[in-house]
Structure 1
Amino acid sequence: MDPLTLGALVALVTVAVLFSGVSVATGLLIVSAGFLLIFDGMRSLELLPEMFFGKLNSFALLSIPMFIIMGAAISSTRAGADLYEALERWLTRVPGGLVMSNLGACALFSAMSGSSPATCAAIGKMGIPEMRKRGYPDEVAAGSIAAGGTLGILIPPSVTMIVYGIATETSIGRLFLAGVIPGLLLVGLFMAWSVWSTWRKHALYAIATRRYDLRQKLEILPRVLPFLLIILGVLYALYGGIATPSETAAVGALLCLIMAVIIYRMWAPRALWLVLSSATRESVMILFIIGAAGVFSYMLSSLFITQSIAMWISDLDVNRWVVMGAINVFLLVAGFFLPPVAVIVMAAPILLPIILAADFDPYWFAVILTINMEIGLISPPVGLNLYVINSIAPEIKLKTILMGSLPYVGCMILAILILCLFPGLATWLPEAVMGPIR
């Protein structure tokens, strides 16, 4: 069978298997083993365990459970509520200040936790009731936090960026730096929309504000600043050449656990056990997907599907931006149905040769891919963040949450267009800090 036709068949079977309800990792292993058995014979199956464990034989993978422990330690405390309250006290007099507080808290908390659902849950539990109490409409209250939670997979340290780096064998440090300015750009676009929307509707909604004196603004900072200093310390250690990503992640995880114990008195062994057990479950899930994706990539390469697709794309006489547009549509649709980690480990190894052949920067593309995945987090039918918000505020209908998040989808699409016009927004900082790619 022609490799391109075989590739189309693999895509259809993979979608059908994943939609059957099996886990992503199990589905990838079933598809890989099936096609290798049919088209390459029984002997090819002998290499599958080696491919699976070989993909996991990477020192960089240690950073994934460490960053997850770091986020779990923060998520298990009142750090999100305190962060929200601190920003709310400082921004309360700004038009749309409470929405800006929520978005700012989401950005900072996502940088600390690296998890979009955790960010939605932590900030939403405080922010949504407070905004509704002050007269903000439900779609603004729920939609802004659902969208703000997506920042967790872009702003460093980001677990999805680590997964992309391992899947494509690119520098994790450069990927983190590439996400900084686009992350701030998205935060700025979200806040700009929030301020403009609130100002435009201010006459329609009786939005109340509170007054805080300087003492009230300062008294909450000691509970928030230590965690922010840990994040800055981790990034400094990483880019100052002091330690590797895995080492800095381990130190960051330990410091976050210590801060959680000292500041929030998380003394009980059961509380620490819950942090470690939840982090272990999430880490194993991600590592299982990475190992299965390694087998899936081996199958595609062994059957010459990856090489044929890359060659076919490079032989097309079309503008490279047409190719990029098609890739964005593919990523957007994939993000509607699959979690970001699954899309990255499945698609990135296939798309990277095409990206390089079209003379696009792989680190710039990582940011574009991640923003597409962010859109998927607040878009049906999966839309994980929508369901997280609905679970913590069940009185707000899912349709209302979706309608409130749609303007932020527009902000993300605008961010992609801006990055296409000005790719230096993603590539300048990595080159300034770590030098040009060799």
Structure 2
Amino acid sequence: MISDPLTLSLVLTGVMFAFLLSSIWIAVSLILTGIVGMLIYEVRLPPAISIYDKIGDLLSGSLYDSLNSWSLAALPLFILMGEILYRSSISDRLLTGLIPWMGRIPGRLLHINVAACSLFAAVSGSSAATTATVGKITLSELRKRGYSKALAIGSLAGSGTLGFLIPPSLIMIIYGVLADVSIGKLFIGGILPGLMLAALYSGYIMIAASLDPDAVPGGDERYGWRERLASLRDLLPTFLLIALVLGSIYGGFATPTEAAALGVVGALILALWFRSFSLPMFRDALFNSVKTTVMISFIIAGAGFLSQVVGFLGIARAVSEYIASLGLSSYALILVVGIMYLFLGMILDGISIVVMTLPIVLPIVTAAGFDPLWFGIFLVFMVELSQVTPPVGFSLFVIQSISGEPIGAIVRYTLPFFLIMVAAVAIITLFPQIALWLPEHMIGR
């Protein structure tokens, strides 16, 4: 039996890696890790309650609570919209229409992941839905056209996390409520860091494509304004669909879930308009939407159970209290807090990280002189990093289901974009006005 939560956290990390390396399903590995944690930790329970009863209570409650969310109803709808766009001629028209506009930019169509994820993130508010929707459209097309697989997958994994910085952001709403910080200011504060991160991704793609001639297929086509204007015929339908979904949300006419349903209807109308709709196509779209949704939901449920166990055993609180006891300087404190969140991101989902640690971490950070609004943006970045941090990186698993690539290869392709996110965290830490300037000038204190 183990009585120290810090020691237990290290043991559970090793147990999880062992389960994952044994090729057990991700969700099952998470659930088994939580069960092992409950069994080896010295839990003091009332005599009438056995450890197995407690495990059963936590497992049943967490599995239900993790998936009993109306906001999750948008997930299968956005995935279905992406499947319809992917299986009809719309995705091919979108990429064909972008060629005249991106032909002169180093990396060309590789930038589509950054642009498309930024747009869909503002629609769905979900990293998993954004990654799945955009990935269904772009990955196969980029591979078919001969673009670098590493850059295509890596840019999708990195760009898929932009949803947390682009409103509406569930993480910002939760942080604003718990930290008593204006949610409106948090939304506005995420704009410049989000644009900065997208620009850093595109900058890396341009550099990598320039250094590796094989990353982009050959072709010296030159396009004038006549070709670019003509390409709008291919781009306009997709932009109208995005405008329909975004406009219904920001215009206050629909919730994200209702907007997702509108998106599915719009995608069906476009497929019919371009005469690429068929019953077999629609059947395959439905079938794959169900498979992807169940895969993501199962992982969410497994992570929810592990999060409950970690909270029940006091691991997150113990790690936070240990950091508070070190007496570090302000920047050293932020460095240690960042490392702590990277570690927690390996075993927890983003929402659990925020909810479990904020009551302990926020007073420590504000006492060190950091603005709570800035720390909210910092925390969003750390949650983004958790999406691409193995072993519990949701975006990595979503991409694996789409691409069929081994998880090790996906992690390797994602590493440069992970490092770019780390660099972005360092930039906003050294220059906090990147996150604070817009809220101060647009809303005021």
TM-score tier, shorter chain, comes to 0.7 to 0.9
Per the TM alignment, residue 369 of structure 1 is displaced from its structure 2 partner at its CA by 0.9
Asked if 1:363 is matched to 2:373, the reply is: no
**Maintained 8 Å contact 1:55/1:291:** yes
TM-aligned CA distance change 1:17 to 1:89, over 3 Å: same
Match of residue 185, structure 1, among 196, 199, 207: 196
- The TM-score normalised by the length of structure 2 is 0.72
User: What CA distance in whole angstroms lies between the structure 2 residues aligned with 1:168 and 1:204?
Assistant: 42
Kindly provide the amino acid, as one letter, of the partner of residue 146 in structure 1: G
Q: Counterpart of 2:404?
A: 391
Asked if 1:125 is matched to 2:125, the reply is: no
User: What CA distance in whole angstroms lies between the structure 1 residues aligned with 2:284 and 2:414?
Assistant: 34
User: What CA distance in whole angstroms lies between the structure 2 residues aligned with 1:391 and 1:290?
Assistant: 22
Match of residue 344, structure 1, among 346, 350, 356: 350
Which digits, 9 at most, give the CA deviation of each residue in 1:136-160, with x for residues without a partner? xx4xx53244223322122259899
Match of residue 417, structure 1, among 426, 437, 443: 426
**Maintained 8 Å contact 1:156/1:176:** no
State how many pairs are aligned: 408
TM-aligned CA distance change 1:406 to 1:120, over 3 Å: same
TM-aligned CA distance change 1:189 to 1:285, over 3 Å: same
Asked if 1:322 is matched to 2:335, the reply is: no
Q: Counterpart of 1:64?
A: 72
Q: How does 1:12-411 map to 2 (within 5 A)?
A: 12-21=10-19, 23-27=28-32, 29-31=34-36, 33-34=38-39, 38-43=43-48, 49=57, 53=61, 61-78=69-86, 80-109=91-120, 114-132=129-147, 138=148, 142-155=150-163, 162=170, 170=178, 179-199=190-210, 207-212=218-223, 213-233=227-247, 235-237=249-251, 242=252, 248-265=255-272, 268=279, 270-271=283-284, 273-274=286-287, 277-278=290-291, 280-282=293-295, 284-285=297-298, 287-289=300-302, 291-293=304-306, 295-301=308-314, 306-332=316-342, 342-345=348-351, 347-352=353-358, 353-359=360-366, 360=370, 361=372, 362-373=375-386, 375-376=388-389, 384=397, 391=404, 406-411=415-420
Per the TM alignment, residue 41 of structure 1 is displaced from its structure 2 partner at its CA by 4.3
**Maintained 8 Å contact 1:111/1:158:** yes
**Maintained 8 Å contact 1:106/1:120:** no
Per the TM alignment, residue 415 of structure 1 is displaced from its structure 2 partner at its CA by 1.1
User: What CA distance in whole angstroms lies between the structure 2 residues aligned with 1:347 and 1:387?
Assistant: 24
User: What CA distance in whole angstroms lies between the structure 2 residues aligned with 1:324 and 1:151?
Assistant: 25
TM-aligned CA distance change 1:271 to 1:187, over 3 Å: same
Q: Counterpart of 2:4?
A: 6
Kindly provide the amino acid, as one letter, of the partner of residue 221 in structure 1: L
User: What CA distance in whole angstroms lies between the structure 2 residues aligned with 1:204 and 1:293?
Assistant: 40
TM-aligned CA distance change 1:422 to 1:231, over 3 Å: farther
Per the TM alignment, residue 124 of structure 1 is displaced from its structure 2 partner at its CA by 1.8
Per the TM alignment, residue 224 of structure 1 is displaced from its structure 2 partner at its CA by 0.9
**What is the Cα-based RMSD across aligned positions, in Å?**
4.6
TM-aligned CA distance change 1:233 to 1:40, over 3 Å: same
Helix, strand or coil at the partner of 2:163: coil
Helix, strand or coil at the partner of 2:134: helix
TM-aligned CA distance change 1:69 to 1:158, over 3 Å: farther
Helix, strand or coil at the partner of 2:220: coil
Per the TM alignment, residue 318 of structure 1 is displaced from its structure 2 partner at its CA by 0.7
Q: Counterpart of 1:135?
A: none
Helix, strand or coil at the partner of 2:255: helix
User: What CA distance in whole angstroms lies between the structure 1 residues aligned with 2:222 and 2:417?
Assistant: 29
Kindly provide the amino acid, as one letter, of the partner of residue 421 in structure 1: L
Helix, strand or coil at the partner of 1:292: helix
Kindly provide the amino acid, as one letter, of the partner of residue 259 in structure 2: G
TM-aligned CA distance change 1:366 to 1:75, over 3 Å: farther
Helix, strand or coil at the partner of 2:327: coil
Kindly provide the amino acid, as one letter, of the partner of residue 224 in structure 1: T
User: What CA distance in whole angstroms lies between the structure 2 residues aligned with 1:299 and 1:428?
Assistant: 39
User: What CA distance in whole angstroms lies between the structure 1 residues aligned with 2:182 and 2:263?
Assistant: 21
Consecutive unaligned residues of structure 1, counting only runs of 5 or more, are 133-137
**Maintained 8 Å contact 1:103/1:145:** no
User: What CA distance in whole angstroms lies between the structure 1 residues aligned with 2:66 and 2:380?
Assistant: 23
Kindly provide the amino acid, as one letter, of the partner of residue 256 in structure 2: A
Amino-acid identity (%)? 19
**Maintained 8 Å contact 1:178/1:427:** yes
Consecutive unaligned residues of structure 2, counting only runs of 5 or more, are none
Per the TM alignment, residue 364 of structure 1 is displaced from its structure 2 partner at its CA by 1.6
TM-aligned CA distance change 1:47 to 1:169, over 3 Å: farther
